[in-house]
Structure 1
């Protein structure tokens, strides 16, 4: 039986106009959810995607606390409920791990602000609505295998993702049973952000058992499965095509 429009769960996916976030938004909409699309720029792309999916679009700079909280408020204003929060938005740029001087305090602050503090703000803003979800609230943090292994585009980036992995576990312990909190930690994903990372692409082709990086749809499938699994909480699921085995 098809759900009535007002009965369909609502998912907010941050950073969802390209790459992993777009794939997640499309998958959740295909699963019957009403999706709130978000970006910091790309308003035209966001509006087009939201129209295609029958959802809504909100522009917000997540490094600004008021705008991050406003994103949740806009989602609630549009639909009156929020059942799923996918913290996908993140930033990264290459800094050699052994070049300590190159990883400046400004780099640290910017990466932590967007990759760690912004998801925390969204979680806290969304929590009352998630607790009231008739289907059970779910938070999925998109982190990175760099938060599990000594890898990644930079030390500050890896540290931000490691911190978000641990926050995932802490929140799962604190918020259950009303709200489940999990993380999906991909390795290399073939997105516009990583298209010039030639060494990483070579590494995955040569050493990962799957012999390729993930596609955004691969990550979206896992995110959707985590949301659908109503007993799963506190898990950080590494998805790197088996590179962790080598």
Structure 2
């Protein structure tokens, strides 16, 4: 699908389902030319692209820094600009916090590669294009999707929570470094009702009974928040927790 003339282009990584798909769908409704991303072959993701209303789909394994770099290069070659980057792609692993030996160096490396290094590579490769976007009169925008487990000692595993905490801190450091041309903010969801959370019965019970909002988040709840941060040209360096108030208990 061709990019509409003068349309602002947004890349949402990990956007064929769940939170990423909801963010991509919302940005498409808001008038962005949205490029979605995943690891599947292009033909396999065409239905996702059409359903979301995205203009393009690009496949890349973000655990491979070379493929992350290629993702940005390919997007710019096809669409000529980039105004919004949403680093949603991430990976989790379920390991009891007390099972230290199960959190092997390989697990740690995988969490850091996908959840910290990949977003960093994408930002570094996209910086020049995002700065050009700011020359049109609006700052460009980066949204990093973290987790409430990076704020409080919770989550499916220590390596996962620690990797997302690193992403949160990188978000703040990048906000200082890239301002005023590029704003950088983070969203830290709690439990979201997606295929990834299937089988987390105890977590559902916790949110349904202890959180002030008495429910888990839907993907659109997170998408609405991301869209609000993208629309606001002033806010930068914030990590907004979206856990239905559970962090207050």
TM range (shorter): over 0.9
Residue matched to 2:186: 183
Q: SS in structure 1 opposite 2:5?
A: helix
**Structure 1 residue 5, shift from structure 2 partner:** 2.2
1:168 to 157, 168, 171: 171
Aligned length: 243
Quote the residue 1:39 is aligned against.
38
- Aligned: 1:7 with 2:6: yes
TM-score (norm 2): 0.95
Distance 2:34 2:49 in 1: 8
In the TM superposition, residue 47 of structure 1 has moved relative to its aligned partner by 2.0
Aligned counterpart, 2:156: 153
Superposition deviation, residue 50 in structure 1: 2.2
Distance 2:132 2:47 in 1: 30
- Give the unaligned 5+ runs of structure 1: none
- Structure 1 CA distance, aligned partners of 2:221 and 2:120? 25
What is aligned with 2:15? 16
Q: Is the 8 A contact 2:87 2:143 kept in 1?
A: yes
Query: What is residue 88 of structure 2 aligned with on the other side?
Result: 88
2:245 alignment partner in structure 1: 242
TM-score after normalising by structure 1: 0.96
Report the aligned-residue RMSD: 1.2
Contact in 1 for aligned 2:10/2:82 (Cα 8 Å): yes
Q: Which residue of 1 aligns with 2:103?
A: 103
Mapped contact 1:88–1:142 kept (Cα < 8 A): yes
Is 2:24–2:54's contact at 8 Å kept on the other side of the alignment? Answer: no
> What is the aligned counterpart of 2:230 among 227, 231, 238?
227
Q: Deviations over 1:24-53 (max 9, x none)?
A: 000000000000110012644532232341
